[in-house]
A and B are shown apart, each in its own frame.
Chain A
Amino acid sequence: MKLTIPELSVVALIGASGSGKSTFARQHFKPTEVLSSDYCRGLVADDENDQTVSNEAFDVLHYIAAKRLALGRMVVVDATNVGTEGRKPLIELARKYHALTVAIVFDLPEKLCQERNQERPDRQFGPHVVRRHIQQLRRSLPNLKREGFRYVYVLKSVEEIAAVEVEKQPLWNNLKGEHGPFDIIGDVHGCFDELHALLLKLGYAITPQPDDAEFAYSVSHPDGRKAVFLGDLVDRGPNTPGVLRLLISMVAGGTGLCVAGNHESKLLRKLNGRDVQITHGLAESLAQLDAQPAEFKPQVAKWLDGLVSHYVLDDGKLVVAHAGLREEMHGRGSGAVREFAMYGETTGETDEFGLPVRYNWAAEYRGKAMVVYGHTPVPEPEWLNNTIDVDTGCVFGGKLTALRYPERELVSVPAAHTYYAPARPFLPEQEAAPVLTAQQQHDDLLDISDVIGKRYVGTRLHRNVLVREENAIAALEVISRFAVDPKWLIYLPPTMSPTETSSQPNLLEHPSEAFAYYRHQGIASVVCEEKHMGSRAVVIVCRDEAVARRRFGISEGFGVVYTRTGRPFFAPPLAVEFLTRVRTALDVANVWAEYNTDWLCLDCELMPWSAKAQDLLRHQYAAVGAAARVALHDAVAALQQASEHGLEVGELLTSYGERAGMVEQYIAAYRRYCWPVNSISDLKLAPFHLLASEGAVHSDKPHPWHMAQLARICAADPELLLATPYQLVDVTDQTSQEAGVTWWEELTARGGEGMVVKPHDFIGRGPKGLAQPAIKVRGREYLRLIYGPEYTTAENMERLHARRLGAKRSLALGEFALGIEGLERFVRHEPLRRVHECAFGVLALESEPVDPRL
């Protein structure tokens, strides 16, 4: 006997003790699919036969079953399941998780069960128990279907059990193996002409076959595309039979897929002779069908009966359903799923036109799969959380629309007429002013559950990046209290690792190691950029306020300047002045036309350091300098005095004298990065990455491209904007490397911070994956600000040479990948929460404990 079991189902094994359920389960199911009540008794009380802990054991069993079902896994319940009260929770679980239900009944003679139990020393509970089981089972048998079991299989003998073959059957909606490309078409409602026109526009060849009684058309597409219909093919419109004939042909011919809409469901009931209300355009269909040859109606009824309510396509990346589908229902099969797929969800209220108010399930949608649906006519399809409604109300005088997948392009043809008056007007009465998209309106507020707790953020460049809960706690506080509006926060810069520690004893960092690093990564060409000593700044500039509103959903301002942790750089009036200067430069450089964009995102360094770091300078750098100077001066004086009256302090005097000298060098070092700022003109902005513009993240262009583009922009306002000097180095060429080293030596000798070495391409890959996007090589004097004024003594140098870069480098990669990922998501117009989780992730990673001096 072959038992067909749907791949996602709750299977209840029903039988008395000793009827062979466990043996059967072992034979036909994976051990992990089988949940045994005896095993759960053992889990909670160390004894598989302890009947006094049944309640606890079943709690555990149901809990595990729920987790498996939520994850889309089959559950086989190995318990006697002879009583209604035991089966009821299983039916409820299946209903909750939209799984199907199967009962396999072991209806064996009592004698056989009794004998088996007697052979087992652990089952000495007396014959009355088995007798009661069998009585209960027999009483249950006629009721199993009514209780809610979709499939009931009764096995009546040992032989029958031995002959069983279990066949796991995929659900009808599972078309994961269909990869498209698809053209997904919204509600047709009998608009045959528009459908015909749309299919032609999409490139389908449609040949009528007047002689074929069953299939009226032959349809094909040169690129092998398939049309996917979202249901509501029938009713209201002028030619429902024509649409049905075309569809029946396409589905049979393999160029069409179709899910059922609510109108198909009602028409089918009518055709099957049920009593339904002839409303909402059903009358038109019936009249048109009546005019067709008699054999057509049964053909239609049969075809409609075979329609599935939703499909999961393309490895689960695409879900289509007439009215949309919540994530937890994807690929599931239950009455509730079918109901939702065809009718959607309503709030229980009705609007001023007497129509039910729809519950906007898409607003809460967080699933990975794209969901394409129809059912509710909209003037223009709009993306919301990776879902889109493509019913553009053709029958109401709108248009018929197709979404091309995977291209995400919309193609439509206008309705030739208004065939049917909508109960609720769906076309805007007049051309409205540009407003926020549905996605932007939804994104006006982020949800806290999308950021708190431990989470993994998937990135294209560098797999999943883990954000730990404690880091999210810190990031939430900082973002909430100090950051700019999250709508601006499309990117946060990654941390940067220094080079491996120099092999030279008197230097901590030197370009040689950075060159070697990239050489070992298999990267020959690198770019050395001067490292500016200021504060990291992300600058986003829009052409005007309208662009900021339209593209970023921001109600005030046309740009923003923020720090590495997302804080606004300037107070509002100064920010506007600063951004205006930058925008003017962009206007002059004609970037808008050049990149075909109306906004830009730049990664920059803003100088002087003292503009931002006033407090740090005063509380730490200058303070240490002031204290050190006084103390060392006095110490040297005291030692001198002692030496003058004959004490042996020579060595101490030399050492303290040298230390006093180092402190002077230290003070000179920080002073270089400080100058008073009285107006915008005292600031310098050095952009070094042209990160993104409309439709593009420029991580696909090499660094020299960025340098050249930015130099051109900087030339438009040389007073404020500073083009970053750079050099190309071939790390497989000795002479070229030496030139790079010399350049670094000159830079640092002039008091520069040092340089940043980057792979020639923005994204460099080595044998083990992503290479460091940048490595800094800092100068000897600059490092006094990092390792202390006296770090250059031999004793200190020796100890400082021991430093570990592993954690820093892994953070740098994770943050870099997150930064680019956020930009890519923004450029793809993904929901804000998807962009935000990247910036949030960078900030959270930044709170990881790593040596702050690296």
Chain B
Amino acid sequence: MLLTITNTQAPASDLGYLLHKNPARVQSFELSFGKAHVFYPEANDERCTVALLLDIDAVGLARNHQKPGGEGGMLAQYVNDRPYVASSFMSVAIAQIFRSAMAGRSPSHEQLADTALPLTARLSALPCRGGEMFLRHLFEPLGYIVNVAPHPLDEQFPDWGSSRYYTVELAANCRLRDLLTHLYVLMPVLDDEKHYYVSQDEVEKLLGKGEGWLAAHPEREAITQRYLRHKPYLTQAALARLSEDDAPDPDLEDELHDKEEEQAEEGISLNQQRLGSVLAALKGSGAHRVLDLGCGEGRLLHLLLDDKSFSEIVGVDVSYHVLEKAKQRLRLDHLPARQQERIKLLQGSLTYRDDRLKGYDAAAIVEVIEHLDPPRLTAFARVVFEFAHPATVVMTTPNAEYNVKWESLPAGRFRHRDHRFEWTRTEFQTWAQDAAARFGYAVRYLPIGPDDEAVGAPTQMAVFTLLS
């Protein structure tokens, strides 16, 4: 809520001319989300500090459903950090209240506006997703000396750790307009939230504001990605209402954890090898009509679609949201009609019997079982083997033994936070053997990824074949 900028080049209070704000006055401005006050805590020849103090109307924002982004996100909450932190609200305030200064226009002091000054910006509470390192990576390449003070979440509960808020001082010799522009772009990037709907114009805005510095910035990709925050999706709000206090948004969390898992498994393009092996097993079985149970965003579906030997492909997932993403990724609505007929996506659950899954040649169940609570595996096995009853079932799951090979993965931790278990080869094979025997299948196993002599391969695959 508070930004101060200090100039120490005499006569320091010329800062007022550059900002078009008189240091002797306290000015208030009405903004769409509340008020802003501009005043000078100090203004003399040696030092002049301007303060931009926001008074964000949190209650108004939460109550006004007209406002975009108001549903389900941070802004719907009355208990909200927005009124107190430097965020996109601050960017909007800068752009409105210091518009001329940011454009470098100062008819009376044109030269000063084009001159680098010894400026220090101070933000009381800047949320930094990515922590101090990321903050430094953003500002230091632009020539700032960065001074950071972290804040604990609650000193009475030290084990809760630190908050994501930092008091930040940025000092540099630069033009005022550059400082304002950098803050304008980078505050929301650090915060990783936008209070308004991100539309196509945002790209233009970013290109305009980033002119001259963004292209050469080493973090330009992260900046772009975060600046253009992804849109909310259809079921987000509904799911959020079902979320528990300890897991605010299951899908969003999953996305983050998927990335973690990918990072953990990095270096060997394990996912590609996995999908390749599954595809090979499916083709080898001679299947034409196939199920991808737990299809996620549809990476395997993509490979199946590209292969003419599969005449009917059904992707099933319990998350409606990822099915929508799969639909987009696969461009299902844009496929030629003949192709569209080959594939369909269903919301389904692998712990409920489902007649829609009956009568297929094969089912792929890739990295799915480890997301089920162990007591639910019995139901899962019946759904797949007894009721869906395909001739071939191709199943993969992590091999827990291999985890020691990854330095980035702390001992005892799973590869993905939603994993309910990770099995050793013996554990998986015992389970698979039992399921095969119970439901009349034969089973064989294949390693996927580099096969280590001691701990095996990172992924284990089982191929079940129905005994006639």
**Which residues of A are at the interface with B, using a C-beta cutoff of 8 A?**
444-449, 451-452, 470-471, 473-482, 485, 535, 555-556, 563, 565, 567-568, 609, 612-628, 630-635, 638-639, 641-642, 645, 647-649, 652, 667, 671, 674, 676, 785-791, 796, 799-800, 843, 846-849, 852-853
Contacts and interface: CB of A to CB of B under 8 A. Distances in A.
B247 interface: yes
B59 A799 contact: yes
Interface in B327-378: 347-356, 371, 373, 375-376, 378
Q: Which 3 pairs show the lowest CB-CB distances between chains A and B?
A: A613-B245, A788-B78, A480-B349
A485 B376 contact: yes
B348 A448 contact: yes
Nearest to B159: A676
A447 B85 CA distance: 49
A615 B248 CA distance: 8
Contacts of A612: 244-246
Contacts of B354: 447-449
17 contacts: A447-B352, A448-B348, A448-B349, A448-B352, A474-B241, A477-B318, A480-B318, A480-B349, A480-B351, A485-B375, A485-B376, A565-B242, A609-B245, A613-B246, A630-B124, A671-B156, A843-B242
Contacts of A785: 79
Interface string B372-389: 010110110011000100
B124 A800 contact: no
A785 B238 CA distance: 22
B385 to A, nearest CB: 12
Given A615-B248, A622-B157, A785-B79, 20 more contacts: A444-B379, A445-B351, A448-B353, A473-B347, A478-B250, A480-B352, A481-B371, A612-B244, A623-B153, A630-B84, A635-B124, A642-B40, A671-B154, A671-B156, A674-B157, A786-B79, A787-B59, A791-B78, A799-B60, A847-B241
B103 interface: no
Contacts of B81: 623-624, 627-628
Contacts of A796: 59
Contacts of B152: 626
A631 B352 contact: no
B379 A641 contact: no
A735 B56 CA distance: 44
B18 to A, nearest CB: 19
Contacts of B350: 480
Contacts of A639: 39, 41, 53
B406 to A, nearest CB: 24
A445 B383 contact: yes
A847 B159 CA distance: 33
B165 interface: yes
Interface in B116-153: 124-125, 127, 151-153
A624 B79 contact: yes
A165 B168 CA distance: 95
Contacts of A627: 81, 84-85, 125, 127, 151, 163, 165
Contact of B78 (A445, A787, A846, A847): A787
B80 interface: yes
B245 A616 contact: yes
Of A445, A478, A667, A671, chain B has the most CB atoms within 10 Å of the CB of A445
B58 interface: yes
Nearest to A636: B2
A478 B245 contact: no
Given A444-B382, A446-B352, A787-B59, A474 B242 contact: yes
A599 B320 CA distance: 37
A788 B245 contact: no
Interface string B76-116: 11111101110000000000000000000000000000000
Contacts of B59: 787-788, 790-791, 796, 799-800
B319 A628 contact: no
B63 interface: yes
Contact of A648 (B26, B41, B376): B26
A631 B41 contact: no
A631 B2 CA distance: 7
Contacts of B125: 626-627, 630-631, 634
Contacts of A471: 238
A638 B4 contact: yes
B124 A452 contact: no
A152 B163 CA distance: 86
A853 B387 CA distance: 44
A799 B63 contact: yes
A477 B239 contact: yes
